[in-house]
């Protein structure tokens, strides 16, 4: 797979993937897991535990199943067909949410909740099953050392369009009566996702050299053992990512606390979501650029500290205006701990090992992704919001400490085992 082919198609691939990401972001703005969907669900339940799970579902769905598909992905020479098939399950569920919203007047609250969470889980798992193939494809079509700015451009396009989606959703929620306002938001999201899928299909991917892939299932699982035994740096990186879920835990509670305790209105919800997306738009580009030049570890450390600052500020907030700064910090922290963490995962190992690293780096974090919002919801229900924010702040600071002390940037660290072959017997 000559580098000239990758560089020749780089501009085309950047263009179509940025457009794809823009439409994905537009859909995500209309159906935000941080603001719109929690507000929709809060109409059917008062459980902070359930509402706190909502933004964790896409993160958990993204992480948990990756190791299950990484085995097959590691033996592929061509990722794109698998990406296109599996991402249907990431994008189609938003149409299901629109149908559920329209059925609100005919169904009881328990049934609405059951259907909503089933669809959210479907969407999350669709993301996770497609993730190893998509990430492997991106790492294949983008030259080394430019992944940060590539991811940053994708994130910037997504978040810029998310601002438009979020602001439009705020107007729809205010101007249109229930339940048609939520139904229209989710319908707009599903149309944007369909356009996103079309532009993703325009990606140009060269075929892998067959010698660079893992040949058997046994070889793949043996490679996992080698990684976990030999790569101490990667183990500490995974531990830091687990701890970072505490720093991300209070995001849905910021909105609910601002609405129920600070008197934030529907229009402000759309505006504050726009602040979040706007911050992520700029942060994605800036942090990607910084990570490419000075290392992603530094970006993760800074992002962890900023998440802690946002949580402390939310707990000390005296009025709604404080939450614009809270969401500003949350946007920077999310860009670092989600996008840049994903980029850094691709820098461990070599191309042969990459699907294994991707699968391990996400699936091992999944339990923490699930437990953190459960803990946050329990604290809110049994103590108060401010205690949940304090726990998140402590989690952010500990994450930064583990990264600083235990992790070296893999781009600059020679991994002696990375070029070792995984010795396995041929399958009988």
**Separation CA 88–CA 307 (nearest Å):** 32
Measuring CA to CA, how many Å separate 153 from each of 14, 273, 301, 342, 392? 8, 20, 21, 14, 29
What pLDDT was estimated at residue 27?
Answer: 93
Reply yes or no on whether the pLDDT at 213 is more than 70: no
Q: Which residue has the higher pLDDT, 191 or 410?
A: 191
95-99, 133-137, 353-357 — most confident range = 95-99
In angstroms, rounded to a whole number, what is the distance separating the alpha carbons of residues 297 and 299? 5
Asked if 374 and 251 count as a contact pair (C-beta separation under 8 A), the reply is no
- Range picked from 62-66, 155-159, 275-279 for highest mean pLDDT: 155-159
Radius of gyration of the chain (CA): 21
Neighbours of 215 (CB within 10 A): 14
| CB of 314 closer than 8 Å to CB of 250 | yes
| Predicted confidence (pLDDT) per residue in 21-55, tens digit | 999 999 988 998 877 888 888 888 877 778 877 87
Q: Virtual CA dihedral for 11, 17, 22, 26, nearest 10 degrees? A: 170
Measured distance CA(302)–CA(238) in Å, rounded:
17
Q: Which residues touch 168 (CB under 8 Å, ≥6 apart)?
A: 29, 30, 188, 270
Task: Tell me the average pLDDT of the chain.
Answer: 82
Instruction: Select from 127, 243, 142 the least CA-distant residue to 196.
Output: 127
What share of the chain has pLDDT > 70, as a percent?
A: 90
Q: Identify the band that residue 5 occupies on the pLDDT scale cut at 50, 70 and 90.
A: low
Q: How many CB atoms neighbour CB 423 within 10 A?
A: 8
Report which of residues 65 and 197 the model is more confident about: 197
Segment 386-396, tens digit of pLDDT: 899 999 999 99
Q: What is the pLDDT of residue 372?
A: 86
With bands split at pLDDT 50, 70 and 90, how would you rate the model's confidence at 209? low
In this predicted structure, which of 15-19, 85-89, 269-273, 293-297 has the lowest mean pLDDT? 269-273
Percent of the chain with pLDDT over 90: 23
Distance (Å, rounded) from C-alpha 293 to C-alpha 290? Answer: 5
> 143: alpha, beta or left, given left = phi > 0 and alpha = psi -120 to 50?
beta
Question: Model confidence at 92, in pLDDT bands (50, 70, 90)?
Answer: very high
Q: What is the pTM of this model?
A: 0.71
Residue 416: pLDDT band (50, 70, 90) is very low
Instruction: Copy the structure tokens of residue 133.
Output: 């193939």
Minimum mean pLDDT range among 184-198, 230-244, 253-267: 253-267
Phi then psi for 86, rounded to 5 degrees?
A: -75, -30
């Amino acid at each position: 797979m000559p580098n000239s082919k990758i560089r020749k198609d780089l501009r085309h691939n950047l263009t179509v993937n940025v457009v794809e990401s823009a439409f994905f972001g537009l859909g995500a703005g209309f159906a935000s897991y941080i603001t719109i969907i929690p507000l929709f669900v809060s109409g059917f339940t008062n459980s902070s535990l359930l509402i706190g799970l909502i933004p964790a579902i896409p993160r958990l769905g993204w992480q948990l199943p990756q190791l299950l598909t990484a085995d097959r992905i590691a033996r592929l020479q061509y990722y794109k067909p698998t990406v296109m098939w599996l991402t249907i399950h990431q994008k189609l569920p938003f149409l299901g949410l629109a149908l559920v919203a329209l059925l609100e007047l005919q169904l009881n609250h328990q049934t609405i909740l059951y259907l909503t969470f089933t669809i959210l889980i479907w969407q999350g798992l669709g993301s996770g099953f497609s993730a190893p193939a998509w990430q492997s494809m991106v790492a294949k079509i983008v030259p080394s050392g430019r992944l940060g700015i590539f991811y940053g451009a994708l994130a910037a396009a997504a978040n810029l369009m998310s601002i438009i989606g979020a602001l439009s959703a705020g107007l729809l929620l205010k101007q249109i009566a229930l339940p048609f306002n939520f139904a229209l938001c989710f319908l707009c999201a599903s149309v944007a996702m369909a356009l996103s899928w079309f532009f993703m299909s325009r990606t140009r991917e060269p075929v892998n050299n067959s010698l660079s892939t893992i040949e058997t299932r046994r070889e793949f699982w043996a490679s996992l053992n080698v990684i976990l035994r030999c790569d101490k740096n990667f183990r500490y990186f995974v531990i830091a990512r687990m701890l970072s879920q505490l720093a991300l835990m209070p995001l849905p509670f910021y909105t609910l606390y601002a609405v129920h305790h600070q008197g934030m209105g529907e229009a402000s919800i759309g505006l504050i979501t726009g602040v979040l997306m706007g911050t992520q738009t700029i942060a994605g580009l800036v942090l990607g650029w910084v990570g490419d030049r000075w290392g992603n570890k530094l970006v993760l450390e800074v992002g962890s500290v900023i998440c802690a600052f946002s949580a402390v500020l939310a707990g000390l907030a005296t009025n709604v205006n404080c939450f614009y700064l809270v969401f500003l910090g949350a946007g920077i922290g999310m860009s670092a701990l989600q996008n840049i963490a994903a980029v850094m995962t691709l820098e461990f190992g070599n191309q042969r090992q990459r699907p294994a690293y991707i699968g391990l780096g996400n699936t091992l974090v999944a339990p923490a992704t699930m437990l953190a919002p459960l803990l946050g919801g329990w604290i809110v229900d049994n103590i108060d919001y401010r205690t949940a924010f304090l726990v998140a702040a402590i989690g952010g600071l500990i994450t930064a400490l583990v990264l600083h002390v235990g992790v070296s940037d893999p781009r600059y660290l020679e991994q002696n085992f990375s070029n070792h072959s995984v010795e396995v017997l041929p399958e009988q």
